[in-house]
Structure 1
């Protein structure tokens, strides 16, 4: 694994203000307010159905919001403000702004007919960010960064789950996002493969990338996160430093959840 020198982040400020989202009349997000500073690592914890994944998807506008707003470095994602009201942008502009926010899912979503290298260069080439030679050089560098320099020509079926997830992380980094979101990045992995993915994410945290991570890996959240945010029923119940929230939770719901997870 390559060594990365930590640097101070100057971009990647995420501001979530009064975000509401409902599906079929059921409110999944109930007025979320959350600010993530540039370079901060935030772990989102909470039971299934608490709104964690939906919140992630609103940050890069994979889900629209019913009310409220999400900005990255002051720029609305998915919308523009006209006449005091939010209006959804055209798809091309949504895609442009969405590239500021990378996301890595539980399931790797790699193109099975493309090699690891081809999976990574696909987006920079499709968006005309780089020429073929520069895109290849970038992809090789990213594969080295995630410890897979020797797997450039391997197809997803030839890689372990952990290796596929590391390629997915490299693919997300190829567009040089300001913010990187992880939705349970280790939940689909065999236990012995979890560590290699968490190591890559820890490396990104040291590098100064703004990270928002939905996880049930309490030990990982304790080690890597600057702040833990606990959600339940679509609201932020408790937040603070990992040592405070995980060792001395104030809210009864947080204590109940941690007692079940840790036991």
Structure 2
């Protein structure tokens, strides 16, 4: 399964700083979208708004045809209960830049914790967890603890954990930015493999070669707005906007 995403007028401020300035964006089901932009441009905030980790001040997000985090009540948007929001998030995998693994749990227990908490039988969850660890090349590490793994290995565990609930959509927030350069390749290879499965992926990254190779669509964001979007060839090789050209001249 996979799900498309519709973002309408996404607006978000922190104090007196407006981080998202009315973003409209459509992400087609089963595609890989890479979001590029300078630090502070709003990329991570937009990603976190998709699964309601950040509550928008204005606008809304629809995933797979369903409003996320809110419902319509008397022509206004009303916040869902925390339980309802958690149920929606179970369909949306999220891979953070700093892994966010539970240090007191083994690698396998990190992967199966969410499915078990949502009612999956323990034996079935552990069987699926082992299959996912094998998928990310860590079958032999199931009894290890996060501190015993490299950063790249921990990030691959985080990806396995995101897959454990069989989400319709997976969000990656700069999944390689906290890694030593020699560990980046293994993590990107796992995401490359996922890109071929038909699951909708949205990836915030600075890895330009990866973006060119894997993305169906690239979205360039600056100062809380979508500046440009298109295929990798259109955005990376023939950008229409001067701001995009300026950014690419510094990173390519």
Under TM normalisation by the shorter chain, which class is it? Answer: over 0.9
Residue matched to 1:209: 199
* Residues 1:191 and 2:181 are matched in the alignment: yes
- How many angstroms does 1:126 deviate by? 1.2
Partner in structure 1 of residue 105 of structure 2? 114
- Tell me the equivalent position of 2:134: 144
Shift, 1:25, TM fit: 2.0
2:46 counterpart residue number: 55
- Does 2:171 match 1:181? yes
Deviations 1:39-98 (A, max 9, x none): 110000000110000000000000001111101111011001111110001110011011
Cα contact 2:2–2:198 (8 A) shared by 1 = no
Query: Paired residues, what number?
Result: 252
State whether structure 2 residue 157 is matched by structure 1 residue 167: yes
Query: 1:232 matched to which residue of 2?
Result: 222
DSSP 3-state at the match of 2:72: strand
Structure 1 segments (4+ residues) deviating >6 Å: none
Distance in 2, matches of 1:11 and 1:218, equals 25
Unaligned runs of 5+ in 1: 1-9
Tell me, in whole angstroms, the C-alpha distance in 2 between the residues paired with 1:89 and 1:192. Answer: 43
Residue 254 of structure 1: aligned partner: 244
Measured on the aligned residues, the alpha-carbon RMSD in Å equals 0.8
Is 1:96 aligned with 2:122? no
Look up the SS of the partner of 2:183 in the other structure: helix
Q: Distance in 2 between matches of 1:119 and 1:100?
A: 18
- Give the CA deviation at 1:151: 0.9
SS of equivalent residue, structure 1 residue 31: strand
Q: With structure 2 as the length reference, what TM-score do the two structures score?
A: 0.99
What residue number does 1:41 align with?
32
Distance 1:99 1:61 in 2: 12
1:24 to 5, 10, 15: 15
Query: Structure 2 CA distance, aligned partners of 1:107 and 1:237?
Result: 28
Task: Tell whether the 8 Å contact from 2:5 to 2:64 is kept in structure 1 after alignment.
Answer: yes
Unaligned runs of 5+ in 2: none
Matches within 5 A, 1:56-95: 56-95=47-86
CA deviation after TM superposition for structure 1 residue 122, in Å: 0.5
For the 8 Å contact 1:108–1:164, the answer to whether it is kept is yes
Between the aligned partners of 2:147 and 2:197, the Cα distance in structure 1 is 30
